[in-house]
A and B are shown apart, each in its own frame.
Chain A
């Protein structure tokens, strides 16, 4: 029987970015160009600034997309920045993003990559 092993990744962080529906693809594209390996998107509903914008609030979609990207600690600033710019988050109503420190993660790691570290 083959002994199964688990490789745990450390030095990682989670970037979560909540934007209006339909914008996620552009932001993910920017994040991947900055070195992010993948992204998870799910749909949600959000509120807050829409009510405070008055009549202009109609231009802010209630339906949101939540992007979650796991990156390494070295990448995190760069990816964060690129996503901020791609999503135009300096415009009211465009969304919010934050970094969460993560403790551990585990996923598939190609064997040839693993070899370098053993």
Chain B
């Protein structure tokens, strides 16, 4: 017996219940005042049920939280596991570190949202309207000042202050004084470097300059100063710091704000349509600060003697830190407010006084600014208790694999050669993994794939950069173990970079030099800096800087080499195709 079901009934059974309401019933009726004029409709505030609020905020918080968890947790897990499984050491203060890492995740999440809602709109409006209302000179001045402002707001820059206390004043007095007494000046020269890069980058936007000569021209004084410092017994200890500063600057605040200004200027001038012109600022912003820091070091060296620094440091130690300003929550709050508020005031003044523009959605903007300050404070707390602590702890334990360390019983744990290999391998995986997880690299890879019409695959770029960073961090660790002067690694590295740059096409040069800046995010920088210093202290090296700078040059080289290889492949394919065509003609 067959049973008939009406198809309509079936559909109703399997699908959702639908209620029909006429939209006419929901839209407001036309209202007239006594003169017969229309009263403009003002929608009432929406009343939400708590379930709606939950469903609204759930995905909002969730996606942002997951992004930061992805950036922090794998790295931290790797460090924890390595320490427990390979070095067989329990993690000290693991509760404090875990709480610190949670603070880092929350802080970054809040800060990034605040950046998007509070700071970016400023950058966009100013970039858009400034060139229309002001002369080029004023525009460039603003770009320069903005460069300084964003450097102070960069979360990773706080890491420099945080690690400064680990440096031993007796071994490297200038390094110590730069990081402790001259921190403000240090960040300022770094900021000036970034500002100069913003100015040059803007000019590049406007005039469509090629990046190659700019790289060559910047590298000559940079390498020249490096050579000068190399031959000074005191100054050569600062080199690692100087080159590391370049990597620190190009973070999540600097890059988008400076870029949005540059793009706004270029589009207002009706130029800069080249998709590549967005690159290059990052490169310059990581090279100029190096010159600035070396210049500052030379200036400090000419005014202060190492002995007086050591004496001053001892006086400070005996006085010891006192007052509420140096205690934990307050110092972070002060530094968080200090880093954001000046930047915001500057942007606000430019907008109000110079441009006389209205601020769009002031409520949301204010909310964004509060978030960025709050996020910065929480991140700073997490930085000192989570990232810096974990990094320096791993750094100080890893040498136990090959050398006797007081804190570790039974060290060296392995035969010397095996131990060194384990340490280097540890560094390699750390660099490779941290870079591959960096969200900025993913975005860069996508851009590059589009720019090169798929010749340079996204995954290929990501692996090239990650492998480069892996080797860079390994080299940096080797540098600390064997106390190789950093200049011996940097000079050949950058010379090779120059040669490869001359050989490559413009597009790959842009990508390669920028990829170095992209890789060093706000999680990697403090972790690697602290690890290097802890490592350096454990093997009693003079200073533990330089790992980040190696992690900058190596990906440049690896991407350039990959680029040349891609070019070569492409040419081969072309030749092959021509031969096939010729062969077909022959047959015909």
Hey, which bits of chain A sit against chain B, CB under 8 A?
Answer: 22, 49, 51-60, 77-78, 81, 84-85, 88, 91-93
Interface check B57, CB cutoff 8 A: yes
**A81 pairs with B16, CB closer than 8 A:** yes
What is the 8 Å Cβ interface bit string for chain B, positions 27-69, against chain A (1 contact, 0 not)?
Answer: 0000000000000000111101000110111011001000000
Q: Provide the residues of chain A in CB contact with B60, threshold 8 Å.
A: 59
> What residue in chain A is nearest B364 (Cβ atoms)?
A58
- A84–B18 alpha-carbon span in the complex (Å): 12
- A91–B56 alpha-carbon span in the complex (Å): 7
Known: A52-B45, A77-B11, A91-B52. A57 touches B57 (CB 8 A): no
A83 to chain B, nearest CB (A): 12
Q: How many residues does chain B have at the interface if contact means C-beta atoms less than 8 Å apart? A: 21
Q: Provide the residues of chain B in CB contact with A51, threshold 8 Å.
A: 43
**B15 pairs with A77, CB closer than 8 A:** yes
**A88 pairs with B55, CB closer than 8 A:** yes
A58 to chain B, nearest CB (A): 6
B120 to chain A, nearest CB (A): 12
Given contacts A78-B15, A92-B52, 14 further A-B contacts (CB under 8 A): A22-B63, A52-B45, A53-B48, A54-B45, A54-B46, A56-B48, A56-B53, A58-B368, A59-B56, A60-B56, A77-B15, A85-B16, A91-B56, A92-B48
Chain B binding surface, main DSSP class: helix
Q: What are 13 A-B contacts defined by CB distance under 8 Å?
A: A54-B46, A55-B367, A56-B53, A56-B56, A58-B364, A58-B368, A59-B56, A77-B11, A77-B15, A85-B16, A88-B59, A92-B52, A93-B56
Q: Provide the residues of chain B in CB contact with A52, threshold 8 Å.
A: 43-46
Q: Provide the residues of chain A in CB contact with B57, threshold 8 Å.
A: 56, 59
Known: A58-B364, A88-B55, A91-B56. A49 touches B46 (CB 8 A): yes
Q: Provide the residues of chain B in CB contact with A85, threshold 8 Å.
A: 16
- A22–B46 alpha-carbon span in the complex (Å): 25
Interface check B117, CB cutoff 8 A: yes
Q: Provide the residues of chain A in CB contact with B52, threshold 8 Å.
A: 91-92
- A57–B290 alpha-carbon span in the complex (Å): 43
> What residue in chain A is nearest B63 (Cβ atoms)?
A22
Hey, which bits of chain B sit against chain A, CB under 8 A?
Answer: 11, 15-16, 43-46, 48, 52-53, 55-57, 59-60, 63, 117, 363-364, 367-368
- Counting residue pairs across A and B whose Cβ atoms lie within 8 Å, the total is 44
Interface centre among A22, A53, A54, A91 (most CB of B within 10 A): A91
B47 to chain A, nearest CB (A): 10
Closest 6 CB pairs of A and B: A59-B60, A91-B55, A52-B46, A52-B43, A59-B56, A92-B52
**A92 pairs with B56, CB closer than 8 A:** yes
B54 to chain A, nearest CB (A): 9
- A68–B45 alpha-carbon span in the complex (Å): 31
Q: Provide the residues of chain B in CB contact with A93, threshold 8 Å.
A: 56
> What residue in chain A is nearest B55 (Cβ atoms)?
A91
B8 to chain A, nearest CB (A): 11
Q: Provide the residues of chain B in CB contact with A88, threshold 8 Å.
A: 55, 59
- A22–B15 alpha-carbon span in the complex (Å): 27
Q: Provide the residues of chain A in CB contact with B63, threshold 8 Å.
A: 22
Q: Provide the residues of chain B in CB contact with A55, threshold 8 Å.
A: 363, 367
B70 to chain A, nearest CB (A): 15
- A77–B117 alpha-carbon span in the complex (Å): 38
- A54–B363 alpha-carbon span in the complex (Å): 9
B402 to chain A, nearest CB (A): 47
